[in-house]
Chains A and B, each alone.
Chain A
Amino acid sequence: MTDGAPGNAVVLQSVSREYVEGDVAVVALKDVSMTIPRGRFSMLVGPSGSGKTTLLNIIGCIDQQTSGHVEVCGHDIKALSDNRVADFRAENIGFIFQGFNLLPVLTAQENVEYALLLLGFSASERQSRARAMLSRVGLGDHLHHRPNQLSGGQKQRVAIARALAKDPEIVLADEPTANLDSETGRQIIDLMRTMQREFHTSFIFSTHDPQLISEADETYRIRDGIVVERSVKELVA
């Protein structure tokens, strides 16, 4: 992990991903080459089935390319063993899911602690970090609520706290606002924006949500597994 100096969070070179089902091969990504710089709010945008999730999964090191070269935070992920990749994710990557994906049997605080379990913190460190992060996302008085006692927006806040509590290099979010109404979505986007600036984390989204797209620093348009366009918002001084 290098310091916050500009650099690339993700580098893809001629990356392809094929799914073989029976005799049929589906090409989800075709020869994708791209670099996503560090510390930005980056969007993968495209119609349904274009390969956004596939691309995010590869960046998030939970899936691997069929061919090509992938570097995440300077690491060649394909060279690592399954356990090493898991450790890499635990340290460097935070996930925010469309469906929130909180553990139903754990409270908000425990869900955040759960992600810290693998990082060698003491129990009290985990607790204080989780509490601080939940207060930061506005859930300071919902620490002991279970997911089924929280609204969608609150659940996504817990998920954001969980993703950021370990201070990762990259936070990946696959359509994080798709299950929320537009007002709540707006609040979640604002929250993520604030957190991204505060933590200098690289956020990478896939989304259809125009509200979210309008916040993008970088936008990558994808169609049929190909990155067709990259647009960069001018950095305001």
Chain B
Amino acid sequence: MIIRIASRSILRNARRSTATIAAVAVGAVAMLSFSAFKNQTMIGLQTAIVERAGHLTIFREGYNDFGTANPAAYDIAGYTELLGTLRTDPELSPMINVATPVVALGGIASNFALDTSKTFAGQGILPSDRDKMQRWNEYGLSGGAFQTTGLRDDDSNRGVVGSGLARMLGFCEALGGQDCPRSAGHSAATDADKRDFTALVGSDRELNRTVSTTPRIDLLASTAGGAPNIVQMDIGQATKIGAKELDDSFVRMHIGLAQRLLYGNAEPRATSIDVQLHHTADLPAAIDRIKTLNRTGKLGLEVRDFAELTPSYGQIVGMYTAIFAFISIVIGIVVLFSIVNTMSMTVMERINEIGTSRALGFRRSRIGMQFLAEGVLLGTVGATAGVAIAVALVTTINGLGLSWMPPGATVPTPFRLLLAGQEASVFATWLALVLISVVATVLPAMRAARMTTVDSLRHV
């Protein structure tokens, strides 16, 4: 009977009820579509990071704090055994998609022929593993197309450079770059400089200075032992990288080449191991397990997840969360006052009904319940309608096949709002609006319950 009276009272005042329900529904739609947009952005960002670098990276303990200054002390010597452990561990192996060694290194890249050189930040990788990682697409965002490394496992002399580095070293045209600028500079190097460099270069036994059709650069770095070392790298292609600084210094090569440069003839090592899981949800479990293996095996390793290694990810998550919180609070307040207003008016209009019910023997609590039910019904109908509209809206927008450039991206991705898989947060939004309607109704309902029977009956 409570529900019957509540729903009929709502219908009786159709215009006011519609306005209130609409306010709640619009609030729900706004919250859910922003949340869907946020989800899409975060998951797009996550996909981009995970495709490139995996979910987590294993380092020698201290590498992140000191290692880059002294790689020899902070690299992973028995990395093939470690990979074997990871890949065969009964707990880990089902979670892991790819576990692959990485050699990080830096030095000077030069084009001897043009007398140009530039510092580089490089990475040695295993091409097939990386290509497999690029295919990771847990959320179905990539739409089939994925970037390959352009390298092959069986060609350990080849690498890829940033388009900026290629331009600076004079390979822009050779690599088929568009809009290649003409160098306006003049050679600053003296013959003496050139001779010094040649002397170094000459120390590399593989050095072959005949003109080749493949663009080729020399990479100079100090070995783990501290001696200068040089290798030659064939440039497979130049890739455009969003951040200019990185574009101007990026070199990615076959891990074999990087190991030759960094370790010479000594036993090859890795500076880290990137691990990509099948599912992001497994991340905490995977990290736990690796930490356990590390502890029990006294391996002296440390593990970091992608969010720690990509601080901008956390910042963007934080920013979106803050905006979402702000939007939610504003909507919450609007919905709250809308329902408070409607329910206060309803109570004032039904004072006589309250007096009558009290005279018939209904307790105060029951009178309060009656109005509480009515307010919550308004909120629930509004929130439910809002969820339905939001789902329809998101489905429609996704069906339009729009594309856009997410923050930090270099290529357009499909514009898709993500509500699927977010059932928990959709439900949380719905529940929050229903709870707001409870809060909004409590005061008017209490006022109704406290009324004096005789006074309410006198009221016309």
Binding site for B on A (CB under 8 A): 57, 60, 62-63, 82-83, 86-91, 93, 95, 97, 99, 101, 103-106, 110, 113-115, 117-118, 162
Contact = CB atoms under 8 A, between A and B. Distances in A.
Given A90-B361, A103-B353, 10 more contacts: A62-B453, A63-B454, A82-B363, A83-B364, A86-B363, A87-B361, A90-B362, A95-B356, A101-B352, A106-B5
Contacts of A88: 361
Interface in B314-368: 352-353, 355-364
B158 to A, nearest CB: 80
Contacts of A60: 359
Interface of B is mostly: helix
B359 A99 contact: no
Q: Which of A89, A93, A103 has the most CB of B within 10 A?
A: A103
Contacts of B357: 103, 114
B5 A103 contact: yes
A82 B364 contact: yes
B342 to A, nearest CB: 16
B189 interface: no
A78 to B, nearest CB: 15
Contact of A97 (B1, B9, B358, B457): B457
B453 A63 contact: yes
B460 A62 contact: no
Contacts of B457: 62, 97, 101
Interface class of chain A by DSSP: helix
Interface string B5-20: 1001100100000000
B360 A95 contact: yes
B4 interface: yes
Contacts of A113: 1
A120 B457 CA distance: 26
Given A62-B453, A86-B363, A103 B356 contact: yes
A106 B353 CA distance: 12
Nearest to B364: A82
A39 to B, nearest CB: 22
30 contacts: A57-B454, A60-B359, A62-B359, A62-B453, A63-B453, A63-B454, A82-B363, A82-B364, A86-B358, A89-B360, A90-B361, A91-B361, A95-B356, A95-B359, A99-B352, A101-B352, A101-B353, A101-B356, A103-B357, A104-B12, A104-B353, A105-B8, A105-B9, A106-B4, A106-B5, A110-B4, A114-B357, A114-B360, A118-B360, A162-B360
Interface string B433-460: 0000000000000000000011001001
> 5 closest Cβ contacts across the A-B interface?
A90-B361, A105-B8, A89-B361, A101-B356, A62-B453
A146 B361 CA distance: 22
Contacts of A105: 5, 8-9, 12
Contact of A118 (B8, B353, B361): B361
Contacts of B360: 89-90, 95, 114-115, 118, 162
